[in-house]
Every structure is written in C-alpha cells, then in structure tokens.
Amino acid sequence: MKQAHGELSIPTRGKGFYEITRDVRWWVGTQAIGNGLLTLFIQHTSASLVIQENADVDVRRDLAEFFERLVPESTPWFRHTTEGPDDMPSHIRAALTATQLSIPVRGGQAALGTWQGIYVFEHRAEPQSRRLLMHLIGE
C-alpha cells in the first residue's frame, strides 16, 4: 500500500465555481498509484468542493443562483458579520455543500464520469487564496 500527499493553491476572483479537474488529474497521474482512493479537503469554512457537470455552464450558474436565494446576504438576524454581509452566508453555504470529496482512482486516473468536473465553490465576494489538500492511498 502506497500513500501520497499533495497541496494545491487556488486563487479565486470572488463568488463562483473554479474548475480544478485538470490539476487534480495531473497530480494523481504523477503518483504511480494505479488503484486507490483520492481524498480532497479544502481548509476553509467559507468555500467548498463539489463535483458537477462540466459541459454546460448554465448548471453552475443555476446552482450559484440557487444558493444566493437559499441563503441571502440580506438576512437581518445574522450576528456573524465581522468580515462583511457575505460572511455568515458563506459559512452556511459551505456547511450545506462539502469540504471533502472522495474519488476512486482506477488505472492511475481519477475515475470521474464523462460530464463530471471537480470545482472549488467560492462563497465569498472578495478574491481569496484557497488551499486544497490531496491524499491518495492505494496500490
């Protein structure tokens, strides 16, 4: 059994989806592990990870609008607003999505479906630098 650890730094320009599939696939392909399990973990409480369709940008636009409507920044009873009106909504959106993903690795590649891409889902309005840890275990 082998293990590998890696890290990605993802700059964001504000709210939205940032595809990292290519970077993750490249890293997995350099690890000499044919079959195993890849774990991705984002070290933040106001951004998340999602696997979503990568063919039609409207899917990501609709998801972003859904979360804007589900957790609006204009909610007057939020107490945690230290970093601005998007502070608490960002934490809630991250809690409703995922900060960790598990992806099978087969034949030395992340076993994603045909239309699947891996995204950092940025919930903050201002640009950020997000850190993603990668752990691959297998043979």
83: domain CATH number is 2.60.120.460
Looking from the CA of 91 toward its CB, the CA atoms found within 13 Å total 10
Section 96-113 average pLDDT: 98
pLDDT for 119 beyond 90: yes
85, with CB counted inside 10 A (0-12, 13-18, 19+), is: middle
Section 64-83 average pLDDT: 95
Percent of the chain with pLDDT over 70: 100
Q: Which helix (DSSP H) or strand (DSSP E) does residue 64 occupy?
A: helix 57-70
**Secondary structure class of 72 (helix, strand, coil):** coil
Query: For residue 67, what are its two tokens?
Result: 């979360």
pLDDT for 74 beyond 90: no
Structural domain tally of the chain? 1
pTM of the model: 0.95
Q: Residue 84 belongs to what domain range? A: 2-138
Ramachandran angles phi, psi of 26, nearest 5°: -60, -50
Question: pLDDT tens for residues 16-68?
Answer: 999 999 999 999 999 999 999 999 999 999 999 999 999 999 999 999 999 99
